[in-house]
A and B are shown apart, each in its own frame.
Chain A
C-alpha cells in the first residue's frame, strides 16, 4: 500500500509523542540549535526551576548575531555583546552543550553551520530561537523558529507543544531565465502569495525548478518561507540531498549512511500525496526581483516600474502608502537606476560559497562605484576559508569590497555593521523592514547576491544580465 501522506505529515507523525489537553501535539525535536540572542533567558528559566537539559547532545550552539565582523578580539568593544557572549559560554559549559565559539572554525551563522556540519538531516524536526530556521527544510526536515519560552521547553524536555499546520504545495515548473536565481524564485512566490499567505501552513516547494536546484539554492528558498508567513518550508529529499550530506562531520557514516539514505528518500511526498492546497507558478514568469518597500512582498521585476497605490485593494493601500513614504520613492518610477549607498552580500539567506562565487564572477575586473560602501560577509568561518582558497577574497578586495569575518552582520544590525541615516542598501539578506539594518531610517532593497554585486559596481539598481 502506498503512503498518501506528504513528507510533512510523515515526519510530524513520527515525532508526535502524545496529544496534550489543548489538542496540540507534544512533538519531539531532533535537533535544537541555539545562539547567543534568544537563549540566555531560556537558561535562566531552567535555573529558576532547577531543571537540567534533557538531551544535551541534541542541542548545538554557535554565535552569530552579535559577532563583530572586523575584530573578534575579546572582550568586545560592545560590553553588552560581551555579556551575551560570556553568557552563552557559561550556559553551554554549565549544561553540557556543544558550542562552536569564535575560536572554533566551525562557527558561523547558525543556519549555515547546521547543514555544513551535517547536523541538519532529512526527516528531522529542527527548532531554533530564530525565524529563519525554516532554512533547514531544504533537506526535507520540519524546521521552524521558536521564541525563548519554547527554547526553554526544548532544553528541558526536547519537545514542544504545537498544533499541526496545514500543508500547501508550491509548485514552480519550467525553465528559469538567465540571471534568475533561487532568491528571485522565493521573492516572486512571496510577492504573489503575500507576507501572510503562508500563516497556518507549511510550504512544500515542488516541481522541476527545485529538483534541479543545488542544496544551497534550496536553502535560500526555504530560508525565506517565514517572510511569506509560513513558519516552515521544505523540499523533498532526493539524490542531491543525499550527495550533499555524505561525508559531513556529523552525518552518519558507512553502512549507517546507506541505511539513512534509504530512509531519507522514502520520506519524500509520493505522486498521490495529499495537500491542503496547491499553487503553481511558471518559472518563465520570474524576473530578477528587487524589493522596493518595507515588506518582502513589496517587490518588482528589475525592468518594472513601481506600482501605483490605487492598484492595490483598499485594505492594502495604507501600508503601501507607508512604504512609499518611508522609502521616499514615487509611484510609477523605475526600480532600475535607483541609486544605492551600501551593498551587503551575506546572511543566512545568501552567505554561502555559491553565493560568493556568483557575486565574485560579476565583480571580477570591475570596481565598486564611487561613494558606495560594499561588504562581503561569509556565512561561516568555513565558507570564508573556502572562498579564500578559491581567491574570491582577492577579487572582492581588488574591486573595492571589504572582506569580513563570519556573522549575521548587516542583516539585522545587532553588531557594529549598520546603515547610517537614510542610506539605501542593496542587500542579499531577507528583511527590508523599517530600521532593520540598524538605522531607524535606513532603507533596504532585497535582491540576489549577483544583483547586489551589479548594484555595487554601478552604484545603482542594475539588471545583472546587462553586465554579463
Chain B
C-alpha cells in the first residue's frame, strides 16, 4: 500500500491554456535518459525559453504544488516523463477542464490527482492566483471540491470531479496497482486458459 491521498493543499500555478501536449511539457530530447532524475528542471523548457512570462519562469510561482490548466491537458505522446517532470518540479495535483487519457492514467500511477473543473471556475481561480500567488488552494478528493483563500481574504469554492476509479485508488492508497495485479495471479492464470490465441486456437468461445 502507498500513501492515501485525500487532499492536496498549497500554492498554485496558473497555466490556463488548451491542448498542452506532452512534447511541450517535456521536449523529446530530454527523454534520452534511463532514469527520471533531473527531469524537473526541464519542465516546459521550450515554452519557457520562448515566453519569459511563462508561469514556470516566474519567481512568485516557484514552489507551486497545484497546476491550473485548460482543456485536453497532456495530450499526445504517452511519455510518463511528462508527469514525472511536473512532479519533480513540485506539482502534486492538477486542476484542469479535461485531460488526455494516457496522461491521466500516468498521473494516477504516480499519485498525482487530476481533477476537472468548469471553465468558469478555472478562470476565477486563475484570476485569484494571478493576483495573489500566495493564495492557498486546497483540493479535497473526498468532498470533490476546491477551495482557495487569498492573503487578501478573497475566497473561492468550487466543485471538481474525478472519475470514481481514480478517486477510489488515490483516497485509499491503492494507486500503486502493481501489488493488486500481482495478487490477481490465480485469476489471471484461469483466464489464460480461456483465451484462444494462448491455447493454439483450440478452445471453444
Closest chain-B Cβ to A355's Cβ sits at a distance in Å of 22
Complex contact B178–A156 (CB within 8 A): yes
Complex contact B79–A38 (CB within 8 A): yes
Distance A315 CA – B182 CA, assembled complex (angstroms): 44
Kindly supply a per-residue 1/0 record for chain B positions 103-120, scoring 1 wherever the CB is within 8 Å of any chain A CB and 0 otherwise: 001100110000000010
Which residues of chain A have C-beta atoms less than 8 A from B200's C-beta? 252, 256, 259
Complex contact B180–A40 (CB within 8 A): no
Which residues of chain A have C-beta atoms less than 8 A from B110's C-beta? 149
B-contacting 9-mer, from A96-104, A140-148, A388-396: A140-148
Complex contact B178–A433 (CB within 8 A): no
A231 in contact with B102 given A21-B172, A44-B35, A157-B178 (CB within 8 Å): yes
From B102, B190, B196, A131 is in contact (CB under 8 Å) with B102
Which residues of chain A have C-beta atoms less than 8 A from B79's C-beta? 37-38, 147
Complex contact A433–B23 (CB within 8 A): yes
B-contacting 9-mer, from A79-87, A109-117, A209-217, A367-375: A79-87
Complex contact B29–A129 (CB within 8 A): no
Of residues 1 to 46 in B, which have CB atoms within 8 Å of A's CB atoms?
17-19, 21, 23-24, 27-29, 31-36, 46
**Interface majority SS (helix, strand, loop, mixed), chain B:** helix
Kindly supply a per-residue 1/0 record for chain A positions 277-293, scoring 1 wherever the CB is within 8 Å of any chain B CB and 0 otherwise: 00000000000000000
Closest chain-A Cβ to B21's Cβ sits at a distance in Å of 5
Closest chain-B Cβ to A283's Cβ sits at a distance in Å of 27
Complex contact B168–A30 (CB within 8 A): no
Closest chain-A Cβ to B80's Cβ sits at a distance in Å of 4
Distance A121 CA – B201 CA, assembled complex (angstroms): 12
Complex contact B190–A17 (CB within 8 A): yes
A157 in contact with B101 given A30-B197, A80-B33 (CB within 8 Å): no
**Within 8 Å of chain A (Cβ to Cβ): is B53?**
no
Complex contact A199–B98 (CB within 8 A): yes
Complex contact A434–B24 (CB within 8 A): yes
A414 in contact with B35 given A21-B174, A130-B78, A157-B188 (CB within 8 Å): no
Distance A434 CA – B20 CA, assembled complex (angstroms): 10
B-contacting 9-mer, from A158-166, A170-178, A233-241, A343-351: A158-166
A163 in contact with B102 given A14-B194, A435-B24 (CB within 8 Å): no
Complex contact B80–A156 (CB within 8 A): no
**Within 8 Å of chain B (Cβ to Cβ): is A23?**
yes
A-contacting 9-mer, from B57-65, B69-77, B124-132, B135-143: B69-77
Distance A20 CA – B169 CA, assembled complex (angstroms): 10
From A28, A51, A146, A256, B78 is in contact (CB under 8 Å) with A146
**Within 8 Å of chain B (Cβ to Cβ): is A461?**
no
Of residues 303 to 334 in A, which have CB atoms within 8 Å of B's CB atoms?
315-316, 318-319, 322
Complex contact B192–A28 (CB within 8 A): yes
Distance A402 CA – B177 CA, assembled complex (angstroms): 46
Distance A66 CA – B33 CA, assembled complex (angstroms): 11
Complex contact A318–B28 (CB within 8 A): no
Complex contact B178–A441 (CB within 8 A): no
**Within 8 Å of chain B (Cβ to Cβ): is A386?**
no
- The residue on A at minimum CB distance from B195 is A14
Complex contact A22–B35 (CB within 8 A): no
Which residues of chain A have C-beta atoms less than 8 A from B165's C-beta? 22-24, 163
Distance A37 CA – B100 CA, assembled complex (angstroms): 20
**Within 8 Å of chain A (Cβ to Cβ): is B191?**
yes
Closest chain-B Cβ to A35's Cβ sits at a distance in Å of 11
Closest chain-B Cβ to A147's Cβ sits at a distance in Å of 4
From A124, A199, A231, A413, B72 is in contact (CB under 8 Å) with A199
- Interface size class, chain B: 35 or more
Distance A278 CA – B75 CA, assembled complex (angstroms): 23
**Within 8 Å of chain B (Cβ to Cβ): is A436?**
yes
Kindly supply a per-residue 1/0 record for chain B positions 185-205, scoring 1 wherever the CB is within 8 Å of any chain A CB and 0 otherwise: 101101110111110111001
From B102, B184, B196, A17 is in contact (CB under 8 Å) with B184
Complex contact A259–B202 (CB within 8 A): yes
Which residues of chain B have C-beta atoms less than 8 A from A229's C-beta? 72, 75, 100-101
**Within 8 Å of chain B (Cβ to Cβ): is A15?**
yes
Distance A22 CA – B184 CA, assembled complex (angstroms): 14
Closest chain-A Cβ to B29's Cβ sits at a distance in Å of 7
Complex contact B23–A434 (CB within 8 A): yes
Distance A83 CA – B34 CA, assembled complex (angstroms): 8
A147 in contact with B188 given A30-B198, A159-B181, A163-B163 (CB within 8 Å): no
Closest chain-B Cβ to A116's Cβ sits at a distance in Å of 18
**Within 8 Å of chain A (Cβ to Cβ): is B50?**
yes
Closest chain-A Cβ to B22's Cβ sits at a distance in Å of 9
Complex contact B201–A145 (CB within 8 A): no
Complex contact A28–B195 (CB within 8 A): yes
Complex contact B98–A196 (CB within 8 A): yes
Which residues of chain A have C-beta atoms less than 8 A from B52's C-beta? none
Distance A130 CA – B80 CA, assembled complex (angstroms): 10
Of residues 121 to 155 in A, which have CB atoms within 8 Å of B's CB atoms?
121, 123-124, 129-131, 144-150, 152-153
Complex contact A322–B178 (CB within 8 A): no
Distance A24 CA – B163 CA, assembled complex (angstroms): 11
**Within 8 Å of chain B (Cβ to Cβ): is A420?**
no
Distance A30 CA – B76 CA, assembled complex (angstroms): 24
Which residues of chain B have C-beta atoms less than 8 A from A152's C-beta? 178
Distance A28 CA – B109 CA, assembled complex (angstroms): 18
**Within 8 Å of chain A (Cβ to Cβ): is B152?**
no
Closest chain-A Cβ to B38's Cβ sits at a distance in Å of 12
**Ordered nearest first, which 8 A-B pairs have the shortest CB separation?**
A147-B106, A147-B80, A149-B109, A145-B78, A80-B32, A440-B46, A259-B201, A40-B34
List 24 interface pairs A-B (beta carbons < 8 Å), by A numbering. Answer: A17-B191, A26-B180, A26-B187, A37-B79, A51-B182, A84-B32, A131-B78, A146-B105, A147-B79, A147-B109, A150-B106, A156-B178, A157-B178, A159-B184, A162-B105, A195-B19, A196-B100, A231-B102, A259-B202, A295-B75, A315-B18, A412-B23, A413-B29, A441-B50
A38-B78, A259-B200, A260-B201 known, 18 other contacts, Cβ within 8 Å: A22-B164, A26-B184, A28-B188, A28-B192, A49-B178, A54-B185, A83-B34, A149-B110, A153-B177, A156-B181, A160-B177, A160-B181, A199-B101, A252-B201, A259-B201, A431-B21, A431-B77, A435-B24
